[in-house]
């Protein structure tokens, strides 16, 4: 079955996190996702607050920027949350937006090298291993977690360009693709992930998580285009389905379900529906659960 989720956009204030998480659980949403965009909410603290006030809701973190966080700190925080709320979180890491990384003095010359070193070290630490690493960027000396999780969680990674997609297929448990990915983009991405998987000799296919920006209700098309522009996305040449000329969908639940089906057919295992920043997050997630979910197998 295709997994559906919704995003709590960081443009909403942190004090709404618990309200939205509780509403998501009551509505039966499968996954609620947080982003760690600079300089909004911290994703780990928001995740912990949401998990503490719910019982079943699954939280996705998409994604923690690796230049922003020392790998030992990320391992400590993930392990802490996993021990308190085991198996309820999808953990994602990624390059981070390079402009933001430059603002904080953390931009690196080779983001791909950093991501490889980081994911390898993070997964080993979460398995309870003791590490000494002298990489180009990741450097650890006799480091191990005192409180590793009972079971190491899957680590997924954001991926866009061909080099990163191949790398993610090689080293991570899944890939997060942004809402700019059309079905044809997604097919190409799945192929590149497969190349990376083959390079590593892996037999387990990486999970593919796609985002889809959605508007519904009055003036949906105009709000979609305006919302994408406000959020720095490419202006649409077309809307209504995420084809090669359209990066989002504007319409009712049938239009959204059809768009989800196109992404699933292209290789997505999970589709995260992303509202525009003018939509109320509670109303949007109820639209997802009440109207779209019954139409998606």
- pLDDT at position 179 is 79
Burial letters for 28-39: b for 16+ Cβ neighbours within 10 Å, e otherwise? ebbbbbbbbbee
pTM of the model: 0.93
Q: Under DSSP, is residue 126 helix (H, G, I), strand (E, B) or coil?
A: helix
- pLDDT at position 14 is 98
Domain 3-295 sits in CATH at 3.20.20.30
- pLDDT at position 238 is 39
- pLDDT at position 246 is 53
> According to the 3-state scheme, what is the secondary structure of 21-80?
HHHHHHHCCCEEEECCCCCCCCHHHHHHHHHHCCCCCEEEEEEEECCCCCHHHHHHHHHH
Question: Could you report the per-residue pLDDT of 85-110, keeping only the tens digit for each?
Answer: 999 999 999 999 999 999 999 999 99
Q: Which helix (H) or strand (E) holds 273?
A: strand 270-275
Per-residue pLDDT 10s for the chain (297 aa) are 899 999 999 999 999 999 999 999 999 999 999 999 999 999 999 999 999 999 999 999 999 999 999 999 999 999 999 999 999 999 999 999 999 999 999 999 999 999 999 999 999 999 999 999 999 999 999 999 999 999 999 999 999 899 999 999 999 999 999 877 889 999 999 999 999 999 999 988 899 999 999 999 988 988 888 887 876 665 443 344 444 445 689 999 999 999 999 999 999 999 999 999 999 999 999 999 999 999 998
């Amino acid at each position: 079955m295709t997994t559906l989720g919704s995003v709590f956009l960081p443009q909403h204030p942190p004090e709404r996190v618990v309200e939205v998480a509780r509403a998501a659980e009551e509505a039966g949403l499968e996954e609620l996702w947080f982003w760690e965009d600079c300089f909004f909410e911290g994703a780990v603290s928001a995740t912990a607050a949401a998990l503490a006030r719910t019982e079943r809701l699954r939280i996705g973190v998409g994604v923690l920027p690796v230049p922003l966080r020392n790998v030992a700190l990320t391992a400590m925080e993930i392990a802490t949350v996993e021990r308190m709320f085991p198996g309820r979180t999808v953990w994602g890491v990624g390059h981070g937006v390079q402009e933001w990384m430059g603002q904080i003095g953390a931009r690196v010359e080779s983001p791909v090298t950093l991501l490889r070193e980081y994911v390898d070290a993070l997964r080993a630490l979460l398995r309870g291993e003791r590490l000494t690493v002298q990489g180009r960027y990741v450097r650890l000396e006799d480091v191990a977690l005192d409180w590793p999780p009972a079971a190491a969680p899957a680590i997924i990674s954001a991926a866009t360009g061909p080099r990163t997609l191949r790398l993610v297929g090689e080293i991570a448990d899944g890939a997060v693709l942004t809402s700019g990915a059309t079905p044809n983009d997604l097919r190409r991405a799945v192929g590149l992930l497969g190349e990376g998987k083959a390079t590593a000799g892996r037999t387990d296919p990486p999970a593919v998580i796609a985002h889809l920006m959605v508007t519904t209700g009055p003036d949906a098309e105009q709000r979609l285009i305006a919302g994408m522009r406000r959020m720095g996305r490419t202006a649409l040449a077309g809307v209504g389905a995420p084809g090669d000329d359209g990066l989002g969908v504007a319409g009712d639940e049938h239009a959204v379900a059809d768009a989800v089906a196109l992404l699933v057919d292209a290789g997505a295992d999970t589709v995260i529906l992303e509202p525009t920043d003018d939509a109320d997050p509670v109303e949007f997630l109820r639209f997802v659960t009440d109207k779209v979910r019954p139409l998606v197998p």
